Structure 1
């Protein structure tokens, strides 16, 4: 058993912030958290002397392990020969030896979503139906890491950048309205397929997965930037009753009230990309996370690794605060909010009894760029330890 004492606990859960709090860990799980906890005599005690302790950070949108940064030509994030890649799964491309997994832990990131659908920075390679995403723990090694959810969602993509990619390949629709029509058509096909009888013939692996999507077995994660494309995908979502999370949402601030009314969750970012990188970014605003959160939208933040390095996730949250996002909302945007969007909040995202002991000890404000991480724990195991160097 391990006890963390004298901590400023940012639980990101029902207990809120606890000054002078303690936390008990046993068998990889949190077994107690609060102000007045009896510490067993046989527990290993780590007195953090008032340091900030947060849940392990979660990035809801990365391409980790799907192509080494220094070998862009070897990237394996998108099957560019097809328009409908519903049957593909990101896990089959993930290189568990990618140095980014250790970078993540060094930055306090203990879980990530890995999505298919981008070849390299500044060069979109995104099919309208890109494939299935996964949620993965960072703890582990090249022999294996724990998969929290698989599939965690189906990635769809709409907009001019997708149309441009398809046009360059000479495949599929080559306009945003053509992509919207294509998605309606294939989802109609999946609906009919789901109603077939058991002796109706050969199994269609693509429609089989899309039928599960229509049954809301997992959410629809949609790459979208412009307000017009956001409204188009919301119409499709309403028509087919999809469980949706929007990603990027560059012009989402123009539709904050609509997104809040429809209770649509949004993963915003990456905010560091120059407007010149894509025409769809011309109306980008660093205030988008704060505007959406203030309107009542559940917001998560992304690095879109390797667009932004995975270890920069807490710095991105700090930048959102600078641009108007409330502090607690920014912290939730990299902890409990992505956990909820990804369907893994029963395991991670907050410091609560019964959840995985994934946590980070900081030597200052967790979302301040000057702060250094003192310790990272994943499933109760200390995976990063700088306590002696910094104390």
Structure 2
């Protein structure tokens, strides 16, 4: 057992201990409170004067798929040869040896939601991974987690260059609809096949994963920057009665009232970047504050490698400078990120029974001068500052 003592604990579960303790038993949190009596054989870490938060969660990135310091050889995030590729799995492309995983955990990022890029209308399957492990099987928290879809400029640009659809937003929406209709038909055949084995269709990897979307076992993870693209994503999700998260959501703050009305799940970012595309003209660090003050639950992401994953707390810090409540900013990179991506049963807050993913900082995590002193993943000490 390990006991962390005397630190300021921000549980992200609406409870803060000015001077509290956390008891870790194996991979999980066994107890949180004040003046916990440590078992005789427990390793003691004195966190006097330090801040303790849940391991940080990046809800949308491409870590391990666009490898640090590499070009084509390490670029495995976009299979830009077919606009519909739901069968692709992130875990078959992620390299656990990507240096970015080490940098992530050294800065307190313990969980990453990573997957395909946005070249395709349907890009493939995202996965939630811990940032420590020698092989992908040791890192998986949840897989598959979601199915990536993309609206706006990226699919248009990629496929108009190949003289094939989509070259317009109309075609992007139509291609997504057609794929979901095909999945509906495949689902109906499966139902018939259960009653009559002779009618069971041949296995189809594309359709199998989209049937999980139709069954609400997996959400769509929608790349959408512009307000009209965000609303198109919501429109299609409602048409097919599927779950969806709105990722990037760059102009979401311009339609915050609509997002609140739709009870939208919003993941904002990357914000610490340039306006390199037309659809980013309204990029603003004020967006998280506007959305959260409107009542929309907000998470923030890096889109790594667009912003290196270790700078997620920096993004949250700037959002506070631009008007976001400090606790809401911390939630946006912990519990909100976990809830929106469907992994809050294990990560995102410090609660009894959850994974012992813990980041201990020398001061306020949103003060860029603060450093990580200790980082735990699944109860293992994976980083200690020398």
2:148·2:223 contact (CA, 8 Å) conserved in 1?
Answer: yes
Distance 2:267 2:350 in 1: 22
Deviation of 1:11 (Å): 0.2
1:138·1:145 contact (CA, 8 Å) conserved in 2?
Answer: no
Deviation of 1:171 (Å): 2.7
Alignment of 1:202 with 2:202, yes or no, is: yes
- Bigger shift: residues 130-139 or 186-195: 186-195
Q: How many residues align?
A: 378
Alignment of 1:179 with 2:178, yes or no, is: no
Which runs of 4 or more aligned residues in structure 1 lie more than 4 Å from their structure 2 counterparts after TM superposition? none
Matching residue of 1:45? 44
Structure 2 stretches lacking a partner, 5+ long = 194-198
Matching residue of 2:196? none
Alignment of 1:127 with 2:126, yes or no, is: no
2:7·2:19 contact (CA, 8 Å) conserved in 1?
Answer: yes
Deviations 1:159-207 (A, max 9, x none): 1232122111223221112211221222112112211122154233212
User: What is the aligned-residue RMSD (CA, Å)?
Assistant: 1.4
Distance 2:272 2:337 in 1: 20
2:155·2:166 contact (CA, 8 Å) conserved in 1?
Answer: no
Matching residue of 1:92? 92
Matching residue of 2:375? 376
Distance 1:341 1:170 in 2: 37
- Bigger shift: residues 138-147 or 29-38: 138-147
Change in Cα spacing, 1:51 to 1:240, as seen in structure 2 (3 Å) is same
Instruction: Give secondary structure in 1 for the equivalent of 2:161.
Output: helix
Distance 2:333 2:220 in 1: 20
Give TM-score, length-normalised by structure 1. 0.94
Deviations 1:293-349 (A, max 9, x none): 111111111111111111111111101111111111111111111111222111111
Instruction: Give secondary structure in 2 for the equivalent of 1:88.
Output: coil
Structure 1 stretches lacking a partner, 5+ long = 119-125
Distance 2:138 2:93 in 1: 14
Distance 1:316 1:200 in 2: 50
Give TM-score, length-normalised by structure 2. 0.95
Distance 2:240 2:169 in 1: 19
1:54·1:359 contact (CA, 8 Å) conserved in 2?
Answer: yes
Matching residue of 1:110? 110
Distance 1:243 1:142 in 2: 31
Deviations 1:76-99 (A, max 9, x none): 101111111011111111111110
- Bigger shift: residues 74-83 or 38-47: 38-47
Distance 2:204 2:23 in 1: 49
Matched ranges for 1:151-300 at <5 A: 151-196=144-189, 197-198=192-193, 199-275=199-275, 277-300=276-299
Deviation of 1:41 (Å): 3.2
Distance 1:358 1:208 in 2: 33
Deviation of 1:56 (Å): 0.5
Matched ranges for 1:23-102 at <5 A: 23-74=22-73, 75-102=75-102
Deviation of 1:34 (Å): 1.5
Instruction: Give secondary structure in 2 for the equivalent of 1:140.
Output: coil
Distance 1:39 1:240 in 2: 53
